[in-house]
Structure 1
Amino acid sequence: MGAEEVKQFNVYLPIGLIKQVKIRAVETGTSLSALVAAALSAYLEDPHRQQQPPTEKET
């Protein structure tokens, strides 16, 4: 994840999604933290994204 300062935070995710993320991390030889950070960065950098994530009340 580079030289940028990092901090831990907890999120609640569906069990199936967690399993998929863990498998992808193993397949790509990367850490869970690096994979999630890359996914979130890609999401935030995509100006053409149509769908908004659900709000806390919708989950």
Structure 2
Amino acid sequence: MTRVAKRQFSVYLPPDLVRRVKHASVEADESLSSFVERVLEDYLRRSDPRSEEPS
């Protein structure tokens, strides 16, 4: 399996949102980084009109 290089970056979020995201990652049995990566990828895939399946 090929490893993808990762970069760290900081974001500022409300404390309640941070708590909820951390709990969601535990519920999903994923690391916080993996959870956030997956959620962001899913969101971007859904919001990109070029990624839609042809009808």
Alignment coverage as a number of residue pairs: 48
Q: Which has the higher helix share?
A: 2
CA-atom RMSD in angstroms: 2.0
Percent identity among equivalent residues? 38
What displacement does 1:47 show?
Answer: 3.4
Structure with higher RCO (Cα < 8 A, 6+ apart): 1
Query: Which runs of 5 or more structure 1 residues have no equivalent in the other structure?
Result: 50-59
> Deviation above 3 Å: which 4+ runs of structure 1?
none
Scaled by the length of structure 1, the TM-score of the pair is 0.70
| Residue deviations 1:6-44 (CA, integer Å, cap 9, x gap) | 010000011111001110111121100001001110111
- For 2:37, the aligned partner's letter is A
Query: Which runs of 5 or more structure 2 residues have no equivalent in the other structure?
Result: 50-55
Are 2:34 and 1:9 equivalent residues in the alignment? no
Scaled by the length of structure 2, the TM-score of the pair is 0.74
Look at both structures and tell me which one has the larger radius of gyration over its CA atoms: 2
